[in-house]
Amino acid sequence: MRQKLGAIADRMLATFLPQERAGACPCRPGEGYYQYRCVSHLQQRRWCVDKCNCSATCGSWSNTFTTC
């Protein structure tokens, strides 16, 4: 549980600070998450999984049928 909270805190901090100041690379291989975007007032999401080189592999965008 402590590790999970630390991972969440690192990700949140990395969004506000440059990577050098946020600490280690936010790479967590195998951990999946959704990315969201708004297109023409319609929310879309896709599933992404982190890789060891701090990049992510993501699927295709799909509509959530939620307005934004």
Q: What is the pLDDT of residue 11?
A: 63
Q: What is the pLDDT of residue 59?
A: 95
Neighbours of 49 (CB within 10 A): 14
- Written as six digits, the tokens of 8 are 């969440």
Are 27 and 54 in contact, with CB atoms under 8 Å apart? yes
* Overall pTM surpassing 0.75 (yes/no): no
**Residue pLDDT, tens place only, 2-30:** 556 566 666 665 555 544 444 455 566 66
**Residue pLDDT, tens place only, 42-64:** 999 999 988 777 778 899 999 99
User: What pairs with residue 36 in β-bridges?
Assistant: 45
Each domain of the chain, given as residue ranges in start order, spans 2-67
